[in-house]
Chain A
Amino acid sequence: MTIKIDPITLDLIENALLNARFEMDSVVVRVALSPVIREQHDEFPMICNERGQMVVGQFGSYIPGIVEQYGDDIHEGDIFVWNDPYACKGSISHNNDWCVMMPIFHKGTHVGFSSIFGHMVDVGGTVPGSMPADARTIWEEGLRIPPVKIYAKGQVNQGVLDIMLNNTRTPDMNRADLMALIAGCRTAAKRVNEICDRFGRDTYMAACDMLLDRTREAMKVLIDKYISNEPVSFTDYVDDDGLGNGPFKMHLSIYRRGDKAVFDWTGTDDQAEGPINFHIHEGLCKLFFGVYMIMAFDPKIMFNEGFYDLFEIILPEGSLLNPKFPAALSNRLNTHTRFFDCQAGALGQKAPHLSMAAGYGTSPHFIFTGHDKNGKYFQLMELLFGGVPGRPLGDGFDGHAWWPLFSATPIEYIENYYPVLVESYRPVKDAGGAGLHRGGAGIEKVYRLLEAGTISIHDDRETVPPWGINGGLHGGTSSKWLQKAGSDTPERIKSKLDNLPVEPGDKVIFITAGSGGWGDPLDRDTKKVRKDVLADLVSIERAKTDYGVVITTDNKVDAAATDALRAQMKSDRGEIEPFDFGFIPGVHEAAE
């Protein structure tokens, strides 16, 4: 690097880029129509340097693959779009995510890229929502768009747009959401141009490199500190693949080889017949490890992909994490989240005080479609939330989003637009794993359906509970129930299902998983245990069996009985196990 940049200019450029990245978010959210992007923020922006490395953003690293395909044929005014995971090396991992990317030019010179992908409500395929729980190939999961130009030198490619919108059940929404993503990318391009004008283009480009280097140096320190030559391993399970197969094992080993941290997934089960395969890009893998290390060990580090060469990833071919075409992919979120659980479990062994328990372990969906009294088609799609795990900082959160910046769609919004009536919405009692810091509980949402139609459900952690850590106990599992109109008894239905017919007056009881606890529940402040009991989040029985806290019938803590019980339980228990799984195939029965 010939250009010398003083540290202040570097910090100024960093701040300016961060501002631009948040501006992308706000533009997308304001313009988009679908509740998934707008209310729930299922969209991910980034700004990259001219080589396609993410300088700011959340999920990065997929640009080089696209650039490779187009070579010199990338021009000012071009905007690319794609959604086929197999055509972009897993840069996005199911067809519902439409990814937009534009090269950024400053006075004719290529200086970087901006890109956003967002979740479309529907992209065609065999079922509304395009995520068939029983798909065996990607052919069933809707339109596949390879990287193509939706704008070429500023001119819209109407043909491509028409084909895309002709293959979805929700063309108006997809059109607006796509335009929102494009508007977001253009905003970033504008800001990058301003930064180039202000500091000089060469300075800007050199600064991007330095920002990447700076994060790389910081990551080196973290690797030195927390990753040893001695491998640490962790195993967790995905319930099933929607076709009756499972549970599926995921196994991760982490060790150091020279300067590099190796993340080795050897031992992970072969790819599934059903759609839970997670075709993950190697770069994304690195990014996920990096983010976790930054957030857990030093959240002040700017989060970019400067550290990629310090990580080595092993993804066995034909496994759940590196499936062969045309394996079905649409419900990869279970696997995706379990990926994070394994990562937390493995990294946590070297730094237990800094590690987290497991959460609700997917992104539960509820889809309800049909035609209303006026014959108008409706398609409700809602993401639900569950237990956010116990943490070193404190308790987890009941019924909160494990995914960043997501939020629940207001019930009053849903009832204004869709023929449902939500009867209740509350955290599940005793579903947060006990701990010094209690895990968050899952939620129970009861929908009464007001029209006939069909429902689809996707969830996980129904058989394999979220584990606890450092003495914390595992959390509650998920379950789904259908109570037919006129009946008093709900019947259990599967957590992965599609197109189940429903009648007006039927109720769906949607229960998501909780999360694991952190630290020894026998050391938890008795006042906190009592408070949870009063809030109906923990039962008196579980206060006793999990926490050793004796609560009297008039809701007081019996201090003497509690001390005695806790002492007894500690001596009976002996040494604390690092993890509490609640379920290991062949050892434990599946949870009910």
Chain B
Amino acid sequence: MRLGVDVGGTFTDLLLQDDTSGKTYRAKTPSTPEDQSIGVATGIKLICDKAGISPADISVVLHGTTVATNAVLEGKGARVGLLVTEGFEYTLHLAKSWTPGPLFGWIVMEKPEPLASLQDTRGIPQRMDARGNIVRELDVEKSKALIEDLCNSGIEALTISLIHSYANDAHERTLRDLVHACNPDIQVSLSSEILPEFREYDRAITTVMNDYVRPIMTRYLSRIEERLAAEGVTAKLHIVRSDGGLMSASAAADRPVHTVLSGPAGGVTATAMTARRTGLKKLLAFDMGGTSTDVSVIIDGETMISRSTEIGSFPAKVPTLDVRSVGAGGGSIAELAELTKSLRVGPRSAGAMPGPVAYGRGGTEPTVSDANVVLGYLPSKLLGGEMELNVKDARKAVADIGSEIDLSPEDAAEGILQIANEVMLGALRVITVQRGLDPRDFGIVAFGGAGPLHANAMAQLLGCYPVVVPSNPGVLSALGFLEAEFKNEFVRTLIRSGSGIDEAQIWQSFATLSDSALAWLVEQDVQEADRGISYAVDLRYEQQGFEVSIKVPANLIENKAGLEAVLDDFHETHEQLYGVRFDLPIELVALRAVATGATPPVITALPEGGTTDIGLATMEVGKAYFGGDWHDTPHIDRDKLATGARIEGPAIIRQYDTTTVLLPDHHAIVDDQSNMLIWPNAKGE
């Protein structure tokens, strides 16, 4: 019995998989932002009741959490002390000196306080050079005094981030010993461990972010472990990493910065799973929620990894699933710019409270959801009939905007959806065409509360078919967790120009990384048969600013030979990505080893019953507005559809956790895994 738990902003979703019967159970319970573990405990009780099992029957708990993300976004992290090389105390304060565009962009720039304040920063007398040679010895006595002063100032965690520590971590380690000698209980992170890569600001901010969320994460994890124990759960708790991998709860307590994108990771992993199941090799994950939309690319069933992300205005250089986020979701507010009267949608959102006008909770500004209501896409009753929508007020709010720009309420509503779609299209374009990928080679998987409402329109714009609407789009993330694998990355920065590359040293460094990776797998109790280690090297043309990661086959490392082929691969990849290759020396920047521990695949039993007769599945026929006209449009109950059912557009397909819009000139087919696949009729079917 594997349990996936996804804590979102509004709801906590749970999915329980019985590996013997192949049955899955789902549960949804309101999230408890003040302490997420309360909602998790409630959900576990609920789902165990539903499945009729005892909590002790659960074999493993896989948990995606937004605790770390929220702490950074809301500025509610811990007070972090920071030790840096003397002379560089202002690294976080200066923050790379960046200001936004266009010209005079700084006039409206908002900049939050650094995650570690200047008052809690101390400059340590020491210095390394870029090759890791000691330029100035560490002054231990002075350091002791500085550390004592800092440790007694009320800080809750401490970061050590010295210049060039990626090349030589000796001083960072000594300082950690000094800190622990002074205060054995304080949590300390070393930049040489969290991010052993060059670029001092990125390394420092990432490590500080780790400590900023660490006390909160540690407390949260111990609370949730207590609650699980209290409910009778004896299974191990694993946390989902930002790159879709799993880590033990204790590893998460040490490196919580690796969970900053834990939330969206599940949906992406589940999309990869969908790709493997359906045989659709290239898929776009399209996760549209209330305030934002996350998109990412799956190729050959594999997710894409990015090495940096942004949490609010802070960069975090940690491996994450390459997810693009844009501020457009169901709750995004539509408004007119004051002087030009141009229509804008988002990034302001009505959120869960007050929510869209149609929810009747006090919202007055029209949102994307309201536009969906006006056009008849969202039925007047939501969530299996629990919530009645106020169609009249939604229409009035949209009509008010329309009248200012001479549009009918329907055309204004269509406009709002089109603008929202365009914003999301920008994000999809960044992850496809901008990287040399043709979206027409992809299908698109729709999930999140609003994904299936918009996915058909997105597919029409981008030409990416089929649209895949999984059977549980609302709890897809939790499902993704069940198939996540254990994962950790080991890095060595080694900036060397191509002409000066010492091949023996590279193979030696890879061997060391491989040892660390193996040791970690053993530590995480991963069985030998499930272990995997893959290797990559980050390369670029001499002095370029960005690296391209190239895979290194394991046999090269075993044979300690064959670098030439890797370099050729780099030239080719660069040309493919950016359209040019240069006749310049290649520079090696970092070596990476990724350790993985496989988990058994989720095998779901096929649903029973259902019908292929659409008439029988039709709940009612309503009016919906498409292409400038109202059409009689059937509302179909998704749960009544059997494999092979074919629906002709236009249609509205309703289910407990979402609503799918099927556009005119399209049809949908239910496949043998309960996915609904939408195709354009022109495709000849």
A398 x B93 contact (CB < 8 A): yes
Is there a chain A Cβ closer than 8 Å to B423's Cβ? yes
Number of A-B contacts (CB under 8 A): 226
Which residues does chain A contribute within 8 Å of B577, judged by CB atoms?
30
CB interface residues, B 78-97, toward A, < 8 Å: 86-91, 93-97
A288 x B103 contact (CB < 8 A): yes
Which residues does chain B contribute within 8 Å of A422, judged by CB atoms?
87
Which residues does chain A contribute within 8 Å of B199, judged by CB atoms?
410, 412-413
Cα–Cα distance between A205 and B411 once the two chains are bound (Å): 23
Q: Looking at the assembled complex, report how far the CB atom of B335 sits from the nearest CB atom of chain A, in whole angstroms.
A: 10
Smallest Cβ-Cβ distance to B415: which chain A residue: A8
The answer to whether residues A535 and B118 also contact, given A7-B341, A300-B337 and a CB cut-off of 8 A, is yes
A176 x B582 contact (CB < 8 A): yes
The answer to whether residues A400 and B418 also contact, given A11-B342, A421-B135 and a CB cut-off of 8 A, is no
The residue in A15, A175, A401 that gathers the most chain B C-beta atoms within 10 A of its C-beta is: A15
Cα–Cα distance between A146 and B89 once the two chains are bound (Å): 47
Which residues does chain A contribute within 8 Å of B411, judged by CB atoms?
6, 8
The answer to whether residues A14 and B342 also contact, given A19-B426, A299-B107, A413-B198 and a CB cut-off of 8 A, is yes
Is there a chain B Cβ closer than 8 Å to A16's Cβ? yes
Cα–Cα distance between A421 and B164 once the two chains are bound (Å): 11
Is there a chain A Cβ closer than 8 Å to B600's Cβ? no
Q: Looking at the assembled complex, report how far the CB atom of A190 sits from the nearest CB atom of chain B, in whole angstroms.
A: 8
B541 x A33 contact (CB < 8 A): yes
The residue in A8, A27, A215, A393 that gathers the most chain B C-beta atoms within 10 A of its C-beta is: A8
Cα–Cα distance between A179 and B574 once the two chains are bound (Å): 14
Is there a chain A Cβ closer than 8 Å to B338's Cβ? yes
Q: Looking at the assembled complex, report how far the CB atom of B521 sits from the nearest CB atom of chain A, in whole angstroms.
A: 31
A406 x B340 contact (CB < 8 A): no
A416 x B88 contact (CB < 8 A): no
B338 x A176 contact (CB < 8 A): no
A415 x B130 contact (CB < 8 A): yes
Is there a chain A Cβ closer than 8 Å to B365's Cβ? no
Smallest Cβ-Cβ distance to B131: which chain A residue: A416
Is there a chain B Cβ closer than 8 Å to A29's Cβ? yes
Q: Which of B93, B98, B419, B579 contacts A406 (CB 8 A)?
A: B98
Is there a chain A Cβ closer than 8 Å to B543's Cβ? yes
Q: Which of B129, B164, B418, B544 contacts A8 (CB 8 A)?
A: B418
Is there a chain A Cβ closer than 8 Å to B584's Cβ? yes
B98 x A218 contact (CB < 8 A): no
Which residues does chain B contribute within 8 Å of A314, judged by CB atoms?
none
Cα–Cα distance between A443 and B106 once the two chains are bound (Å): 18
Is there a chain B Cβ closer than 8 Å to A156's Cβ? no
A407 x B97 contact (CB < 8 A): yes
Cα–Cα distance between A217 and B338 once the two chains are bound (Å): 12
Q: Map CB proximity to A onto B46-70 as digits: 1 under 8 Å, 0 otherwise.
A: 0000000000000000000000000
Which residues does chain A contribute within 8 Å of B164, judged by CB atoms?
412, 415
Q: Map CB proximity to A onto B24-60 as digits: 1 under 8 Å, 0 otherwise.
A: 0000000000000000000000000000000000000
Cα–Cα distance between A536 and B90 once the two chains are bound (Å): 11
Is there a chain B Cβ closer than 8 Å to A39's Cβ? yes
A58 x B102 contact (CB < 8 A): yes
B89 x A426 contact (CB < 8 A): yes
- Interface stretch (choices A258-266, A275-283, A290-298, A556-564): A290-298
Which residues does chain A contribute within 8 Å of B338, judged by CB atoms?
298, 300
Cα–Cα distance between A39 and B418 once the two chains are bound (Å): 36
Q: Which of A29, A299, A401 contacts B98 (CB 8 A)?
A: A401
The answer to whether residues A29 and B545 also contact, given A218-B339, A410-B199, A425-B90 and a CB cut-off of 8 A, is yes
Q: Which of B88, B102, B135, B342 contacts A295 (CB 8 A)?
A: B102
Which residues does chain B contribute within 8 Å of A109, judged by CB atoms?
none
Smallest Cβ-Cβ distance to B422: which chain A residue: A15
Cα–Cα distance between A416 and B419 once the two chains are bound (Å): 46
Chain B, interface residues (CB within 8 Å), range: 35 or more
Which residues does chain B contribute within 8 Å of A173, judged by CB atoms?
543
A291 x B102 contact (CB < 8 A): yes
Cα–Cα distance between A39 and B544 once the two chains are bound (Å): 9
Which residues does chain B contribute within 8 Å of A19, judged by CB atoms?
425-426, 429
Q: Which of A401, A416, A534 contacts B119 (CB 8 A)?
A: A534
Q: Which of B94, B107, B578 contacts A443 (CB 8 A)?
A: B94
Is there a chain B Cβ closer than 8 Å to A196's Cβ? no
Q: Looking at the assembled complex, report how far the CB atom of A349 sits from the nearest CB atom of chain B, in whole angstroms.
A: 17
Q: Map CB proximity to B onto A21-41 as digits: 1 under 8 Å, 0 otherwise.
A: 001001101111111001100
Q: Which of B90, B200, B544, B578 contacts A33 (CB 8 A)?
A: B544
Cα–Cα distance between A525 and B340 once the two chains are bound (Å): 38
The answer to whether residues A417 and B543 also contact, given A393-B110, A411-B163 and a CB cut-off of 8 A, is yes
Q: Map CB proximity to B onto A457-496 as digits: 1 under 8 Å, 0 otherwise.
A: 0000000000000000000000000000000000000000
Is there a chain B Cβ closer than 8 Å to A69's Cβ? no
CB interface residues, B 178-204, toward A, < 8 Å: 198-202
Which residues does chain B contribute within 8 Å of A296, judged by CB atoms?
104, 107
Smallest Cβ-Cβ distance to A215: which chain B residue: B340
Which residues does chain B contribute within 8 Å of A403, judged by CB atoms?
99, 103
Is there a chain B Cβ closer than 8 Å to A3's Cβ? no
Smallest Cβ-Cβ distance to A537: which chain B residue: B118
Is there a chain A Cβ closer than 8 Å to B682's Cβ? no
The residue in A412, A535, A536 that gathers the most chain B C-beta atoms within 10 A of its C-beta is: A412
Which residues does chain B contribute within 8 Å of A30, judged by CB atoms?
545-546, 577-578
Is there a chain A Cβ closer than 8 Å to B565's Cβ? no
Cα–Cα distance between A298 and B405 once the two chains are bound (Å): 20
B105 x A295 contact (CB < 8 A): yes
A399 x B97 contact (CB < 8 A): yes
Which residues does chain B contribute within 8 Å of A413, judged by CB atoms?
198-199
The answer to whether residues A398 and B94 also contact, given A19-B426, A412-B200, A446-B87 and a CB cut-off of 8 A, is yes
Q: Looking at the assembled complex, report how far the CB atom of B563 sits from the nearest CB atom of chain A, in whole angstroms.
A: 21
Q: Which of B102, B339, B419, B430 contacts A221 (CB 8 A)?
A: B339
Which residues does chain B contribute within 8 Å of A443, judged by CB atoms?
94
Cα–Cα distance between A400 and B111 once the two chains are bound (Å): 12
Q: Map CB proximity to B onto A553-582 as digits: 1 under 8 Å, 0 otherwise.
A: 000000000000000000000000000000
Is there a chain A Cβ closer than 8 Å to B18's Cβ? no
Is there a chain B Cβ closer than 8 Å to A356's Cβ? yes
Smallest Cβ-Cβ distance to B339: which chain A residue: A218
Q: Looking at the assembled complex, report how far the CB atom of A525 sits from the nearest CB atom of chain B, in whole angstroms.
A: 15
A292 x B340 contact (CB < 8 A): no
A58 x B419 contact (CB < 8 A): no
Is there a chain A Cβ closer than 8 Å to B533's Cβ? no
Smallest Cβ-Cβ distance to B199: which chain A residue: A410
B339 x A31 contact (CB < 8 A): no
B426 x A405 contact (CB < 8 A): no
Which residues does chain B contribute within 8 Å of A299, judged by CB atoms?
107-108
The answer to whether residues A302 and B582 also contact, given A8-B414, A291-B103, A402-B106 and a CB cut-off of 8 A, is no
A407 x B90 contact (CB < 8 A): no
A295 x B103 contact (CB < 8 A): yes
Is there a chain A Cβ closer than 8 Å to B343's Cβ? yes
Is there a chain B Cβ closer than 8 Å to A214's Cβ? yes
Is there a chain B Cβ closer than 8 Å to A12's Cβ? yes
Cα–Cα distance between A417 and B99 once the two chains are bound (Å): 26
The residue in A11, A183, A402 that gathers the most chain B C-beta atoms within 10 A of its C-beta is: A11
Cα–Cα distance between A398 and B105 once the two chains are bound (Å): 16
Cα–Cα distance between A15 and B426 once the two chains are bound (Å): 8
Cα–Cα distance between A74 and B105 once the two chains are bound (Å): 35
Is there a chain A Cβ closer than 8 Å to B407's Cβ? yes
Interface residues of A (CB under 8 A from B): 6-8, 10-12, 14-16, 19, 23, 26-27, 29-35, 38-39, 58-59, 172-173, 175-176, 179, 183, 186, 214-215, 217-218, 221-222, 288, 291-292, 295-296, 298-303, 356, 385, 388, 391, 393, 397-408, 410-413, 415-417, 421-427, 443, 446, 534-536
| Known interface pairs A296-B107, A404-B100, A406-B97; 16 further A-B residue pairs with C-beta atoms within 8 A, sorted by A's residue number | A8-B343, A11-B343, A11-B419, A19-B425, A30-B577, A31-B578, A215-B340, A217-B339, A218-B340, A221-B339, A288-B103, A302-B342, A398-B94, A405-B100, A408-B98, A443-B94
Instruction: Sample 8 A-B pairs with CB under 8 A, ordered by A number.
Output: A6-B415, A173-B543, A183-B578, A301-B340, A385-B97, A400-B94, A404-B104, A535-B118
